[in-house]
Amino acid sequence: MSDSLRELWLRGVAFNPAAPSDVLIRLMDRAAGEVGPLMCEGRDLPDAVVDAALRHPAGKVRGALALNRYVDPARLAPLATDPSGIVRYRLAVGPRPALDGYDHCRTASSSPS
């Protein structure tokens, strides 16, 4: 399997809502590449996966979790004392705004015809 196909396959598993927690936890390993951080930032995670990410040795995984919009902010509180300044910064910045594809400004400025 080519590296790009492997990466796509791993992303598919990481974002599959039916994937078991133990599989998602293994995807945080360095061998899975960027899949772990992408998953930790971009999807709703089971409690066991959040717990594993909070204790993960890689700051990249913890920093990605700090930007996750689906995790209750109270669960992310331990990251406020993380040894990595980058992780603490990401927690302070918080998640990126949702891109829902809806142009709110255009709709508000449209006049009825």
Q: What's the full length of the chain, in residues?
A: 113
Q: How confident is the model at residue 93 (pLDDT cuts 50, 70, 90)?
A: very high
The beta-strand segments (E) located in 14-113 are none
DSSP state of 101: S
pLDDT tens profile 36-81: 999 999 999 999 999 999 999 999 999 999 999 999 999 999 999 9
pLDDT reported for residue 15: 96
- What separation in angstroms does the CA of 78 have from each of 43, 55, 62, 82? 20, 10, 10, 7
pLDDT reported for residue 99: 67
Q: How confident is the model at residue 4 (pLDDT cuts 50, 70, 90)?
A: confident
